[in-house]
Chain A
Amino acid sequence: MSSDARLILKRAVRAERWEHQERGDYNMERFDREFSDRLYSEKGREILRAQEQGTIARKVEPATR
């Protein structure tokens, strides 16, 4: 393998958190909503909702979904 190919092909062995960059969007709210939809499982969303409802007194960012 040539030297430049060796340098180019080097990548981190671990997963890079780049997927959201591929789906970038100038509309922040839409990006946030879509990313959140991809991130959470159904169970995750239920748990988050329950926590938000149970901790109204705490300063928590309102859910955007």
Chain B
Amino acid sequence: MAPDDFLTYARLLTGTEVKGEDQIDRESLALILADETKRIDSSQLNELLLLVHKDRVETPFFEHFFGPDCTIGQIPDAVERFQRTALLLYGNFVFAYRALSRIKDGSTFEKTIAEVSSGPEAELNFFRDRQPKLLEVDRIAKHQTPFVGYLSVGDILADLRRCELLRAAAKEFRPVASWDEYLAQIRAMANPEQFGPLSEIVENFRGKNSETTVSDFGGFLEESFERLFEMKVEVQQVRGRATKNQNTYLTWDHMDVYFATSMRKAWEYQDLYGFIERLMVSDELRELDLRYFDPTQAYTDNRVNKGLVEALMLKRARCTVYSVQDTDTLGKDSELASTLAQGKPVIAYIPDLDLEDRARQLVSENPATILERLRFVLYADEQLAQRLTDPELALVDRVQDELIEYCAKRIWLSITDEKVVNTLRQALGGDLEAFCRIVARSEKAVYDKRARTLRDSHPLALQVNLETGVANGVLVVRTIVDCAALLRRILLSAMEFSLEDADDMWYLKERITGCIYRVVTNDRKLNNCFWNFYLR
């Protein structure tokens, strides 16, 4: 090893420049460093460090990073091992060197670096030896998960109350009453701004049933009321179970993973349910029998308590999996930030869509859902219209009109008339499939862009552990297989990294994702100001 190379490694080890280079005895250095196979111990490393005007290290530091069989030629590897630990624990080479090199007691040293030095075997044994939980979650079925949210349930309750009013108005008439008389009665019974939606229900019924009477409508309302009431009871039962589940989550003594997601639309609940189900049965995770907070299985009717429960789960979980769905919402963005600020890992799962699979899935969705998907991509994909050819644009226009018409002519928002849906699907035929392919292509563009933004360009994809100042980066995965592999590595403390010196930065990049996990900037001014507020 050449003296200049050793000066470089001394700089990298200590995080500071080598001062007084003109007073360094390079001839002696060259002699000592000439034989790269020569073994050195801690005292000899200290002599080398003092030769280049650097502080010496205590034995535990040497034994951990350099090891008992270290040779001159292995110094670079030892320095890199130190840099990785420094990045993971301190986000700072200077302070890491000062802190770790001065610890004299071996057990104190091991305790200090335990967070990043425990082996996968020990962690695996922890999971294997863990006792089963006393209370299991009462798993709510996929199709019922939207009932723990407020939007789907709002549709049911609004339908039920509107049906109740229309039914009460129908009861006030003899069977031969005219539609005009009936509408006048509705107008009298409803607040003025509510007449529009109510008359829309009446008109939609009449549109689907020619030559129908108020009496026929009364019969239909009786049936609808029964059905909507049953749905409300089902919601209450599901929420009762989900409330119990929440109490179960609160009592678990271990919490491994928190799943963060948007919880607005019905498909967001069902997508998350499907994602978690596939993730947890993967080979990598099944044996760990993880305990995770699944927001599709928990409920509280008090928004303040809901916020507190989720805050506690974020505090307790070892990491967060952020499922990137449609819109970036305050809720899940806050959950991402909260996890990073605690210095814990965040995995962002952004599906890498298979266009044909996704298009088929969309075709099978309710037309109202397909329309909402179009509205989402129109909002999120600024290039959509520019990418479409004129015939495609005309097709989107045409199918959108049909979907809008379908939505406007629904009698109830929460009851799907399968006959009407099938008629619409048949009428649209290949156009619906082509439309869904266009929406799927656009969804893919949106997700790909989100992945690039989070991985490559968003400044807040790296946030700071508020207690230590260590920068903490989001890890972006595009498949469930990668998500499972990464989650296993996180939980078993077996993450793998590459160390890169680029862009005037030191990056510690996670190997599966290629994402920046830790970073040290070489900006002198920023470093000085930043660490003045964290380490003093």
Contact = CB atoms under 8 A, between A and B. Distances in A.
A10 B402 CA distance: 12
Contact of A47 (B161, B168, B401): B168
Contacts, number: 119
A29 B153 CA distance: 11
Interface in A24-51: 24-29, 31-32, 35-36, 38-41, 43-44, 47-48, 51
Interface stretch (B392-400, B450-458, B499-507): B392-400
B385 A26 contact: no
Given A4-B385, A28-B235, A28-B236, A39 B301 contact: no
B404 A31 contact: no
Interface in B122-161: 150-151, 153-155, 157-158, 161
B302 A27 contact: yes
A15 interface: yes
Contact of B158 (A4, A7, A20): A20
Interface in B256-303: 299-303
B197 A21 contact: no
A49 to B, nearest CB: 10
B312 interface: no
Contacts of B354: none
A33 to B, nearest CB: 10
B188 A44 contact: yes
B115 to A, nearest CB: 37
B45 to A, nearest CB: 61
Contacts of A39: 161-162, 165, 190-191, 194
B158 A12 contact: no
A23 B194 CA distance: 14
A34 to B, nearest CB: 10
Contact of B190 (A17, A31, A44, A61): A44
A7 B396 contact: yes
A32 B228 CA distance: 13
12 contacts: A3-B386, A3-B388, A4-B384, A7-B384, A20-B154, A20-B157, A21-B155, A26-B299, A28-B239, A31-B153, A32-B161, A48-B168
Q: 9 tightest A-B contacts by CB?
A: A44-B189, A4-B385, A3-B385, A20-B158, A24-B150, A12-B408, A15-B196, A27-B301, A17-B197
Interface of B: 150-151, 153-155, 157-158, 161-162, 164-165, 168-169, 171-172, 188-191, 193-194, 196-197, 200, 229, 235-236, 239, 299-303, 306, 374-375, 378-379, 382, 384-386, 388, 393, 396-397, 400-401, 404-405, 407-408, 413
Given A19-B197, A23-B154, A26-B150, 10 more contacts: A4-B385, A6-B397, A8-B378, A20-B155, A21-B151, A21-B154, A35-B157, A39-B161, A48-B168, A48-B189
